[in-house]
A and B are shown apart, each in its own frame.
Chain A
């Protein structure tokens, strides 16, 4: 493994030096050009690595990036933009492997990794965007290290509870639950119809969000207000004790630890198989494409908590960040970043996947949108994932693998283990 890494390093070293030679040549050529005339700009290649928000080949995000790349390359023919996307289920594994092998993309969209900043790999946002404050201020501190912002929110969402009105009517439930006890009763009633009462996606894809929403319900969370990890706190244990009870009652999907948000949970809801689930606005897109439920067949409600609805729900932002490269390349990357995050491209993304955009101007233009509007309004009043340096790099991968087993096995042992990992060396 390490040997491979070494040879990879060498290969990268040679490509880097080759790139430097060509860019030096390119720069000298262009400076010559400046003397004589506005001649050809240097040849630059920008690599973009993004997450895939699609539910299959038909709406893969690689198509979205290719459109942006083509549009940009038309404006600047000297630039070649190479794009690729990674499925969210494999995102952490694949990006981590690529970065560990020192194979850095220029632009990385998806998770923000504060660890990259500690290792000096990222440009601050002020160097790569004409307007570094273009992104929603809600996520400014999450994407900052020592008060310098390194990533911009590219796509955002707030979470809420979706419920199937048809199944609620069949089970004779008059109103959506606001407390855990009501949710348990309602989920059991729906399970009696042969459906999934509550869909609990604790599979690796987004176990961190699902478990967080339950922790919030009992006043817990990943960290306290001081930014210290509290994974094995009493409140969190209480949430998992309830989840264990919910799973044991048979009112959920059978194996929460292998049940993923997009591939399993959203699909099942869209097919009318689920009574309730916590999800983001993108679920509406999945429902529409499945064509089983009409917009009048489902509705949203506040996330139920232990004793009442959760007031501050979870706000999630996926980042866009730029890895350090050469000074010659930087101006072109900046142009690309400005282009990729302009209003038209941000809104195109939002409408394609029923997600919220990340820039203030794009968010403002959606305030009165029939589907996304309410989520836009909820966004400023949300709690966020931790922004500690080791969150995305060390804690999150372990949560994705382990937390699902807490609802069938020994919750306190699982949470203790995660807490040790988060706080220890």
Chain B
């Protein structure tokens, strides 16, 4: 890795002293980082910092539902937001959603990555197939699942009825309205979210496994280590950097996940299947500043998750 880096940066270091000299040249030389960092900084300022500023700013304004600004409102929106009895359940649901989707995704991805790291006939086909849920628009996946769960004519219900499965768990056709009841709707949406998160996670872990040098395994074999021992003592510890990246990106993605829930239930009935992101959008229909306050809250929650996570995973020591 370090060898490659040197070979990349080498041509950039001028081999001979600069042709032009003098104070003007030195200033230009000092300003050089700006040329390199400028575009990236402008991009971040325009695409990340400005919207964040407007988000925070909107939450302190008295903006009516048509979008007109009627001046400063102080902490009114935050006060109203925290007075909502639904906020607590929504935040609890967000935690359940986050932990179950990310947890299950990681647990399923690891054996999948181990499998795909082995030689077997048709491996290429399986690897390609795994890309499908990733390559498909999440929105489409959510719509297809919503159709499959349609009470009267959805595929899942029809197959379930044909096999007598639904009958066994006491569901008649009218009761098989999976997405109409908050509990079952949430379970199905978690399944869909896991389904679409698997490819990225598996591929990140697979890349991490392939980066582990083969000679370590050979040395372990010479020392007489069993397959399980070489997995637990070599693969798992060396996989940590890749796993940390996968986990972190999943945490943020799943926390911000919108299309699955919106397309399958719109957060309904009521806001009983809404996570904090969907709840923010629901609030926007009635009150822009309250939705902005909710966004600020979300922003802090996701920042907190990332900070806590990096802290506990000793990110700096091990991952880099």
Question: Which residue numbers of A lie inside 8 Å of B, CB to CB?
Answer: 1-3, 5-6, 92-93, 96, 99-102, 113, 115-116, 118-119, 121, 196, 203-204, 253-255, 257-259, 390, 393-395, 397-398, 401-402, 404-405, 408-409, 413-414, 417, 420-421, 424-425
Contact = CB atoms under 8 A, between A and B. Distances in A.
B80 interface: yes
A204 B270 CA distance: 9
Which of B66, B68, B282 neighbours the largest number of chain A CB atoms within 10 Å of its CB? B66
Interface of B: 46-47, 50-51, 54-55, 57-58, 62, 64-68, 76, 80, 83-86, 174-175, 177, 179-181, 265-272, 282, 284-288, 295
Contact of B177 (A113, A255, A397): A255
A409 B86 CA distance: 12
A258 B85 contact: no
A257 B67 contact: no
B67 A113 contact: no
Given A100-B67, A100-B288, A424-B80, A404 B181 contact: no
Given A254-B177, A425-B80, A2 B54 contact: yes
Contact of A113 (B66, B180, B267, B284): B66
B50 A3 contact: yes
A342 to B, nearest CB: 30
Which of A6, A93, A425 neighbours the largest number of chain B CB atoms within 10 Å of its CB? A425
B51 A2 contact: yes
Contacts of A92: 285
A219 to B, nearest CB: 26
A151 B62 CA distance: 27
A6 B84 CA distance: 30
A395 B83 CA distance: 17
B186 to A, nearest CB: 13
A398 B80 contact: no
Given A1-B55, A405-B270, A408-B269, A255 B181 contact: yes
Contacts of B80: 424-425
A254 B83 CA distance: 31
Contact of A401 (B57, B58, B271): B271
A115 B67 CA distance: 10
B174 A254 contact: yes
Nearest to B268: A258
Contacts of B47: 3
Contacts of B284: 96
A417 B179 CA distance: 24
Contact of A398 (B76, B174, B266, B286): B286
A97 to B, nearest CB: 8
B51 A1 contact: yes
